[in-house]
Structure formats: C-alpha cells, structure tokens
Amino acid sequence: LRIREIAKPKLPDDFDSDIADIEKMKMSVAATEWQDIFSGDPQTASHGQKHKHAQDEPFRTHWKTTYDKWLQIKHEAAKKDGGKSWLDRHPAPTGSAADVARGTINATLDKLITTNTLYKAAKEEATTTLPSQVVKQISAAIYGEGVENSKFVLAKALTALTNWGAGCSANGGKSVIGDMICLCAESVSRNPQTCENSGLAIAWGSVLTGSPHTLVLGECPAREDRTLTTHDLGSIITHITAGIRTHLQGSSVYHILGKRGASNCNGGAREVYVDYSAAYNKNTGKGLASIPWGAKLISAYNTMQQSIEKANEAAKQAAVARRLIDTARAAYLQPIPVPLQTTNAAKITDRKQAATVTITNTTCEKKGKEDNCKDGCKEVSENGEKKCVVGIEIEKEDTTNQDGKIPPDRCTRHKDKAACEKENEGQKSGKICLLMD
C-alpha cells in the first residue's frame, strides 16, 4: 500500500472547444440585426469602450456582462488564420436552413454548457478529489491519524512509547506500522507467527526512540509498481480480516495478531501480540471497522467506490454532451430538404398542365371514339357516323384561374372571336371557349 499510486478512471477531455465552435455557429446563423450589435474589434470596441455612456437597453445593463464575450466570438469566427477564417472553413447555412439551425443551436447550446459543467465537476471528483482523499486515508491507516503525507512519526504510530505494554497488546491498533513494530520489533520475544523478526535489533527500553519502522519495513516485500485498484484494496482488507485470529484462553476469547500464551502478554514473556478483542465485542464492536487503522482502510475503499460512481456519472454526462454537440453540428451543416409534393398536389398539377394543352377537333379525333373520346372532347353523330370533336366540359379547377374566371386567352384560340363568345353564351363559369378548326 505504501506510496502506491491510486488507479484513476479514464475519462475524455471536457467539451469547452466544442462549445466554442457551437457559439461561433450561433453567431453565424443569428439574424443580421443581432450580429450587427457585436461589430468591431474586441481591442477597441468592448462594452466599456463602445457603450459606457449608453442610457438605453440593451446596452446599458443587458449586455454588460456578456457583450465582450459575443464580440470576441464574432471576431474569432471572422479572423483569418492561414488565409482562411473559421467561417470560410465552416460556411453558415442560409435561408430556411439558417432559421432551423438557429432554433436548434439556441436550444442545445445552453443545455450543453450546463452538461459540460456537470461533467467537469464529476470528472474532477472521480480523477482528482476522491483519489487524493484515498491517498490521505491510506497514509493515516499506515502511519497514524493525521499523517497524510506517508511520513513516519513515532508518536503518531503508537499509543505510547514508554514500554511495550503501554503501546501494544490491547493498546495497539493506532496504525499499521505501529502494530508491525509491536509484533516484530521486540528483540527479546519469540517470533510471533505474524512476522520474521530474527536479526531485528530493536529493544523497547524505558522509551522507544529512533526509527524502528525502517527495520520493520525492510522485512516487507518490494512495493508493487502498478497502481492500486479498488479490487486490490478490497483483497488486502479481506486478507487482513482473515489474518486476525481467534484465540481461546480459558473462558475468554481473544482476537489477535501475533502469539499469545497462557500468561498475560506484556512483551517480556517471549510472547507478543496485538489484541483487537474490544473491536470484536458483540455489543459494541464492528470488527475491523472498530480498529483505527482498519476503519481508515475501509474508508479508503469506500472512497474509491465513490470515485467509480462519479466516473460513471461523468460518463453519462459526456454521452449527453456528445448528443447535443452532434445535434447542433447537424443543424448547422445539413441543408433543409425540399418537401416532396403530396400525391394529391401532384395530380392536381398534372391535371392543370393537361388543361392548358390546346384542344382542337384534330386532337379529339386522334383520341378515338366511345370511351376514349373525353378530356375536352365529345362524341357526336354526323350523317350516321360517330365523330370525336371538341365539346366536353373541363373541371373548374383545371380551366380557370384561382379567382374562378375563365382565362381570357381561351377565346383567342377561335378563328372567330364572335363565334366563340356566342357559343359560350349561357355557359357556366368554368366552360372553355370551343375552338374552331
């Protein structure tokens, strides 16, 4: 655990640059009169320089806080870079497409800014705030309460330094390193089953002094270089919990690390241990969570879990932000499709076009007889012979102007205008002038 880097979730960058682009899009599709408000160079036409004496809105107060921002945005969109401006590379839509883009971009931009703020806050907690808290909690577990920089301080590691009994036995549990000193640094006692202490020339005198932790830590395996994950810390806590042994002595049950004999353990009877029995009291104890350093390790584990939850929250906000960005970009880049004519509208158009074709006896004759003689033609009998000639009424919607009047050019198709007018006498509105061959 010592000085191991905490594993941090991988999250994408924030969406500030995307917001900057969409703000340029908003400016570019805005109404001309709105864009004109922000004319000029930000260096010489800021709100304070250009409108400091304004008495009327919106310049007096409405634009006071955001005017310079939009002035800069418009300037950046039009500024040339390498011979081209942002607008040159991202031409704005026009006409109806601009109207639709304006509505979509305005609706998504505020949501995107809010989402980006939430994303950055969650990411900060997941990748910085909470991992830093884990480091401090692990440091306090190993070295004692209040030690957040992984620096050994003898007085913080042990409850007392006067003698082994005062600092260890039932007085242990203040720190991991302190309990290791209790178990491994008493030179006159036997190995306590918990660590190999042969060769450690550390003796408790009237007051423990120096840096006994260096000899104790020297017995530990080499520190792993990989980052510490939530799974790793959970496994360590499980391993430690399993290592705390239950020792029955007479009618008493002890929960210990180390070795306890029949006599009272005071570090001088060649038996050493740390007694955590109070933490396992059935009425008041919570097991490892009631041991000071155990509580710190559990807190560190819980904080790492919170980091994962915050990372998931950030990932959800990132997904929302991407959808909003895609929506705004699509509105800016895509032209408005031309609406397809409805079937009825297409039919009416075709019929009106057909009605404008000049109808003559010749064209009627070509249609044929009986059922084929229609659409402005009629079948008549002449000398016992059936003929298809001009004469069938055309529907009003096909043969009249929108005001219901017969187009005047209809009559000009007759060779004799008087004959045409006479022929149409008494006809309903919507009749065509009969044509003469």
Please determine, for residue 352, whether its predicted confidence score (pLDDT) is greater than 80: no
| Interval 385-390 mean pLDDT | 81
Please determine, for residue 27, whether its predicted confidence score (pLDDT) is greater than 90: yes
Q: Specify whether the CB–CB gap between 185 and 198 falls below 8 A.
A: no
Q: Specify whether the CB–CB gap between 223 and 2 falls below 8 A.
A: yes
CA distance 59 to 163: 78
| Interval 31-49 mean pLDDT | 84
Among 85-99, 144-158, 195-209, name the one with the lowest average pLDDT: 195-209
CA distance 102 to 89: 19
Query: In the prediction, which pLDDT does 434 show?
Result: 47
Please determine, for residue 403, whether its predicted confidence score (pLDDT) is greater than 50: no
CA distance 26 to 325: 13
Please determine, for residue 343, whether its predicted confidence score (pLDDT) is greater than 60: no
Q: pTM above the 0.85 mark?
A: no
Confidence bin at 190 (pLDDT 50/70/90): low
Please determine, for residue 88, whether its predicted confidence score (pLDDT) is greater than 50: yes
Number of H helices, E strands in the chain: 17, 7
Residues in CB range of 191: below 8 A, 6 or more apart: 197, 198, 259
Structure-block tokens of residue 401: 């102007």
Mean pLDDT of the chain: 79
| Interval 332-340 mean pLDDT | 67
Q: Specify whether the CB–CB gap between 250 and 263 falls below 8 A.
A: no
Please determine, for residue 429, whether its predicted confidence score (pLDDT) is greater than 70: no
Among 101-115, 166-180, 300-314, name the one with the lowest average pLDDT: 166-180
Query: In the prediction, which pLDDT does 431 show?
Result: 47
Please determine, for residue 363, whether its predicted confidence score (pLDDT) is greater than 50: yes
| Interval 423-429 mean pLDDT | 55
Q: What percent of the chain has pLDDT over 70?
A: 71
Q: What are phi and psi of 47, to 5 degrees?
A: -60, -40
Query: For the chain, which residues make up each domain, given as ranges?
Result: 142-303, 344-423
Query: In the prediction, which pLDDT does 270 show?
Result: 60
Residue with tokens 């004759």: 365
Segment 135-155, tens digit of pLDDT? 999 999 999 999 988 888 888
Is the preceding omega at residue 58 within 30 degrees of 0, hence cis? Answer: yes
Query: In the prediction, which pLDDT does 105 show?
Result: 95
Please determine, for residue 356, whether its predicted confidence score (pLDDT) is greater than 70: no
Segment 258-284, tens digit of pLDDT? 777 666 665 555 667 889 999 999 889
Question: Which of 211-222 are b and which e, b meaning 16 or more Cβ less than 10 Å from the residue's Cβ?
Answer: ebbebbbeeeee
CA distance 79 to 129: 39
Query: In the prediction, which pLDDT does 357 show?
Result: 54
